[in-house]
């Protein structure tokens, strides 16, 4: 359903399209939300699918991608971390993974947090001695690294373990992550006993340490009921027109953490409807487990199970347990949902009061719904970078954060004034286009700086015709003393807020978050530059030739300064390649 100017209002599915549209057109018996949606609708588009299951999957995909105003929306702005055992190398690698699954190997997850992944990786290193180093580090080793010395790697890089034995370690780690820890532990105990009887105490001690590591991760799990090998437990709590959906992840018989979600919906939405919409969108980009335990019965549970089974290419069962251990698990999850929602509502009330204070301080017409804060970071003009953070009624909106790379003629990168001017010119130019497309416009732009920065930004705004966005600046106090910041508004004398004013603390937090985000981007950019090798950009120079050049000359700088004849003397470098390298650095 599409509104004026092509604004998407609603995406839905129907087995009988005629009945569904006729019901909307009848104009009676609708809630206020549906009535408003119908009143705003100017046109409709239809897509026909082969089955209702396909329609459900398409609906979830479109809602998550297009975010229509009248749909229940899952605000899920980041992917979950997984553990990956890479299988595209003779010595498989153990690593943390996010994003699309393009790499060949076995994926295990999702984990609720990076902390849970790191803890499990730590245990896997102790128990199975699988390498975690990158391929480039692996290929360049001539002797074992520190991880081998502290008994967290078997040392395949320098042949300290036979390939067959290393493959067996990888198989054991895979079995462990698939929930076969008891069988694996019994095998290790048997081998430890055999080693002890043979008086091979060194091997027995290594096996003992591995058994202890496995025991640590399988016993320290918090909520970890019997009989649940692989499942997601999902419960919803509602209060004050808001919802919290709590998800606990169980894999391999272990609790891999939990996370809270706060879907966006109208105040009169029913818990079961919110939960159904959440499930369809939540599993749109991640595989569903074999069992999903729910706090509420869903009207379309069977259809949703079919859709998830089709997507996961295996049977997925949705269940609402009424008794036993699984019911207790759902109740514990619901308790977590209620507590998380209570915290969220308390934070939201506080946030509303703070935004009212911001409205008062900067004389805004309405309570701000979107505040954009800008800062920049560089070291004497190098690796210069600008940053924008966004805050509103829900706190920091990190999926709207942006960074601006500053280089070339884009700005005088050793000049904070020039950087701020260049950054805001790019942002305001884009703002003009986004406004035409219905994107949110900031209710307040706050820049880190004083009168000079404010004047520059106002000039840019006037130049681009941005006259309806309030702009202010926050300058650090004398000797950068927090609490003595001065605020600048166009055409007014600078002013300060009382040191114990909560609004001052809030504005400081906004400024500090912008500074943190800018510094983080600058450090990442600088770190990447430090790691870059001048040889990496030369076409035809792969790892082998790069290694040969560095071994021959000792450094990339020496390769840069080498004569053509010296380059031709390197093993594996032809005359044509030597000329290409020479021309690359001389051009």
Q: How confident is the model at residue 78 (pLDDT cuts 50, 70, 90)?
A: low
Give the containing element (helix H, strand E) for 582.
helix 575-586
**410 or 170, higher pLDDT:** 170
Let me know: does 387 contact 376? Beta carbons within 8 Å.
Answer: yes
Q: How confident is the model at residue 77 (pLDDT cuts 50, 70, 90)?
A: low
Q: Where are the domains of the chain?
A: 4-66, 371-529, 534-586
Residue 547, pLDDT > 60, answer: yes
Residue 106, pLDDT > 80, answer: yes
Residue 50, pLDDT > 90, answer: no
pLDDT tens digit sequence for 334-362: 998 998 888 888 777 888 889 999 999 99
Please tell me the predicted confidence (pLDDT) of residue 39.
Answer: 87
Vertex 440 angle, CA 435 and 446, to 5°: 105
**Separation of CA 310 from chain center:** 26
DSSP 8-state assignment for residue 80: P
Rounded to whole angstroms, what are the CA distances from 183 to 175, 294, 478?
Answer: 9, 30, 66
pLDDT tens digit sequence for 231-281: 999 999 998 888 999 999 888 777 777 888 999 888 888 999 999 999 988
Please tell me the predicted confidence (pLDDT) of residue 352.
Answer: 87
pLDDT tens digit sequence for 193-223: 888 888 878 778 777 777 776 665 554 444 4
List the 317-319 sheet strands across, edge first: 254-261, 242-251, 231-239, 291-294, 317-319
Rounded to whole angstroms, what are the CA distances from 64 to 56, 72, 286?
Answer: 12, 10, 13
pLDDT tens digit sequence for 111-142: 877 877 887 888 788 878 899 998 888 888 88
Let me know: does 366 contact 441? Beta carbons within 8 Å.
Answer: no
- Beta strands 317-319 and 371-379 are unpaired
Three-state SS annotation for 229-290: CCEEEEEEEEECCEEEEEEEEEECCEEEEEEEECCECCCCCCHHHHHHHHHHHHCCCCCCCC
Q: Fold for 371-529, please state it.
A: Nucleotidyltransferase; domain 5 (3.30.420)
Taking the C-alpha atoms of residue 185 and residue 178, their distance in angstroms, rounded to an integer, is 14
Give the chain's largest Cα–Cα span. 88
CATH of 534-586, one of 1.10.150.20, 1.10.443.10, 3.40.190.10, 3.30.70.2190: 1.10.150.20
pLDDT tens digit sequence for 520-544: 876 776 666 555 666 766 777 877 8
State phi, psi for 239 to the nearest 5 degrees: -165, 140
Find all residues with CB under 8 Å of 68, minimum gap 6, and list them.
1, 8, 9, 10, 11
In terms of Cβ atoms closer than 10 Å to its own Cβ (0-12, 13-18, 19+), residue 444 is: buried
Average pLDDT, integer, range 547-558: 80
Residue 384, pLDDT > 80, answer: no
pLDDT tens digit sequence for 394-445: 888 888 898 888 765 554 455 677 778 888 888 888 887 777 666 788 999 9
Residue 133's CB is within 10 A of a number of other CB atoms, namely: 18
Please tell me the predicted confidence (pLDDT) of residue 408.
Answer: 59
Please tell me the predicted confidence (pLDDT) of residue 162.
Answer: 92
Let me know: does 353 contact 373? Beta carbons within 8 Å.
Answer: no
Bond into 110 cis (ω within 30) = yes
Cβ burial 221-257 (10 Å sphere, 16+ → b, else e): eeeebeebbebbbbbbbbeeebbbbbbbbbbbbbbbb
Please tell me the predicted confidence (pLDDT) of residue 220.
Answer: 44
**8-17, 20-29, 307-316, 396-405: least confident range:** 20-29
Please tell me the predicted confidence (pLDDT) of residue 35.
Answer: 85
pLDDT tens digit sequence for 490-505: 988 999 888 888 899 8
Please tell me the predicted confidence (pLDDT) of residue 437.
Answer: 67
Average pLDDT, integer, range 280-297: 90
Please tell me the predicted confidence (pLDDT) of residue 205.
Answer: 79
pLDDT > 70: percent of the chain: 90
pLDDT > 90: percent of the chain: 21
Average pLDDT, integer, range 456-481: 83
**Separation of CA 278 from chain center:** 18
The residue assigned the tokens 């604004």 is 7
Find all residues with CB under 8 Å of 246, minimum gap 6, and list them.
234, 235, 236, 237, 258, 259, 260, 261, 333, 334, 336, 337, 340
What's the mean per-residue pLDDT of the chain? 83
DSSP 8-state assignment for residue 79: P
Residue 92, pLDDT > 60, answer: yes
């Amino acid at each position: 359903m599409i509104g004026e100017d092509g604004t998407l209002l609603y995406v839905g599915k129907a087995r009988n399209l005629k009945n569904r549209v006729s019901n909307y057109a009848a104009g009676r018996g609708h809630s206020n939300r549906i009535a408003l949606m119908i009143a705003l609708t100017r046109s409709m588009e239809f897509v026909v699918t082969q089955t209702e299951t396909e329609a459900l999957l398409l609906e979830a995909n479109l809602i998550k991608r297009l975010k229509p105003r009248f749909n229940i929306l899952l605000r899920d702005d980041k992917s979950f971390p997984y553990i990956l055992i890479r299988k595209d190398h003779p010595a498989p690698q153990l690593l943390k993974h996010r994003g699309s699954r393009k790499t060949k190997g076995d994926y295990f997850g999702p984990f609720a947090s990076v902390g849970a992944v790191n803890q499990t990786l730590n245990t896997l290193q102790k128990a199975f001695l699988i390498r975690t180093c990158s391929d480039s580090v692996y290929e360049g080793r001539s002797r074992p690294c520190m991880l081998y010395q502290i008994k967290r790697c078997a040392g395949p890089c320098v042949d300290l373990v036979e390939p067959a034995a290393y493959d067996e370690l990888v198989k054991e780690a895979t079995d462990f992550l698939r929930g076969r820890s008891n069988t694996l532990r019994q095998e290790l105990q048997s081998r430890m006993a055999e080693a002890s009887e043979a008086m091979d105490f060194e091997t027995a001690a290594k096996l003992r340490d591995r058994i202890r590591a496995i025991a640590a991760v399988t016993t320290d799990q918090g909520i970890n009921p019997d009989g649940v090998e692989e499942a997601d437990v999902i419960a919803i709590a509602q209060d004050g027109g808001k919802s919290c959906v709590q998800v606990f992840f169980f894999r391999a018989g272990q609790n891999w953490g939990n996370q809270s979600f706060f879907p966006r919906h109208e105040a009169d939405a029913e818990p079961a409807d919110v939960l159904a919409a959440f499930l369809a969108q939540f599993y749109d980009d991640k595989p569903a487990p074999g069992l999903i335990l729910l706090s509420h019965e869903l009207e379309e549970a069977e259809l949703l199970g079919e859709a998830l089974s089709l997507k996961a290419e295996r049977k997925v069962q949705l269940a609402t347990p009424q008794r036993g251990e699984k019911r207790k698990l759902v109740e514990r999850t619901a308790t977590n949902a209620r507590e998380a929602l209570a915290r969220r509502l308390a934070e939201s009330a506080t946030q509303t009061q703070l935004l009212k204070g911001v409205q008062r301080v900067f004389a805004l017409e309405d309570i701000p719904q979107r505040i954009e804060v800008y800062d920049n970071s560089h070291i004497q003009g190098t690796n210069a970078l600008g940053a924008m953070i966004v805050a509103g009624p829900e706190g920091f909106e990190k999926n709207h954060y942006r960074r601006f790379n500053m280089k070339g003629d884009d700005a005088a990168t050793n000049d904070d004034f020039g950087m701020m001017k260049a950054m805001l010119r790019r942002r305001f130019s884009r703002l003009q286009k986004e406004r035409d497309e219905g994107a949110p416009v900031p209710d307040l732009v706050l820049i880190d700086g004083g009168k000079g920065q404010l004047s520059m930004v106002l000039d840019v705004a006037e130049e681009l015709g941005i006259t309806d966005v309030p702009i202010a600046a926050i300058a650090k106090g004398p000797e950068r003393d927090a609490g003595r910041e001065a605020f600048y508004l166009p055409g007014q004398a600078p002013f300060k807020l009382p040191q114990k004013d909560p609004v001052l603390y809030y504005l400081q937090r906004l400024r500090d978050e912008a500074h943190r985000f800018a510094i983080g981007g600058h450090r990442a950019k600088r770190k990447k530059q430090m790691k870059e090798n001048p040889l990496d950009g030369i076409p035809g120079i792969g790892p082998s030739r790069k290694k040969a050049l560095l071994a021959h000359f000792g450094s990339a700088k020496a390769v840069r300064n080498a004569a053509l004849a010296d380059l031709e003397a390197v093993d594996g470098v032809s005359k044509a390649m030597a000329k290409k390298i020479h021309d690359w650095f001389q051009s």
